[in-house]
Amino acid sequence: MAEERFEDKALAKKDEAKIKGEAVEEKANPHEHKHDEKAVKAEQKATPKAEKKAESKAEKAKDEKPARKVVLERKYTVNLTEAYAKPKYKRADRAVSLLRDFCMRHMKGKAVKLDSGLNNAIRQSVRPAKSVQVVLQKDEQGTVFATLAQAATQ
């Protein structure tokens, strides 16, 4: 009830000031909770961040890397049975390192990137595949990209 009276008086004063052409000063309602002010401040802070994110996404779309130029492409069947010399919990790691070594040796690259599908095929369980068919692509910078042969054909 007291809040309503305060609001009515404040509105009446504003209306009188507008009629007279005087500047109106807005005073905060003393009955408002501080939690409301915090929520308003949080909203004000959140909006610039959202705008910045939208702008950064737009910039990233503009600055997309051009498609890499493939210099060399080969298809191999890689034998990973050496990984079975390790204990079960180390086999997948050993299989990945064998695959990386194979790629470096045969493609003479500077770095090796494994496709997520290939990584999942090797690390699917405690017992990785004993052999994997792989498509290897080498780009201009010497980076070798390895993908699963079945996924590359589809």
Give the model confidence (pLDDT) of 55-111 as tens digits.
Answer: 666 666 555 666 778 888 999 999 999 999 999 899 999 999 999 999 999 989 899
Going from the C-alpha of 38 to that of each of 12, 43, 99, 123, 150, the distances in angstroms are: 28, 9, 55, 49, 56
Last residue in a domain, options 62, 88, 113: 62
Question: How many domains, in total, are found in the chain?
Answer: 2
CATH number at residue 140: 3.10.440.10
- For residue 136, with 0-12 CB atoms within 10 Å meaning exposed, 13-18 middle and 19 or more buried, which class applies? buried
Is residue 34 pLDDT above 60, yes or no? no
Same domain, 16 and 58: yes
Task: Mark whether 79 and 41 lie in a shared domain.
Answer: no
Residues 50 and 33 in one domain: yes
What residues does 135 pair with on adjacent strands?
Answer: 75, 147
Predicted local distance difference test score (pLDDT) of residue 114:
92
Of 104, 103, 43, 115, which is closest to residue 76 (Cα–Cα)?
103
Q: Looking at the structure, do residues 79 and 144 belong to the same domain, yes or no?
A: yes
Three-state SS for 6?
helix
Give the separation between CA 83 and CA 81, rounded to whole angstroms: 5
Residues 87 and 115 in one domain: yes
**Same-domain pairing of 56 and 80:** no
| pTM (two decimals) | 0.55
76 and 55 housed in the same domain: no
Which two tokens mark 101?
A: 């070594």
Residues spanned by the domain of 36: 2-62
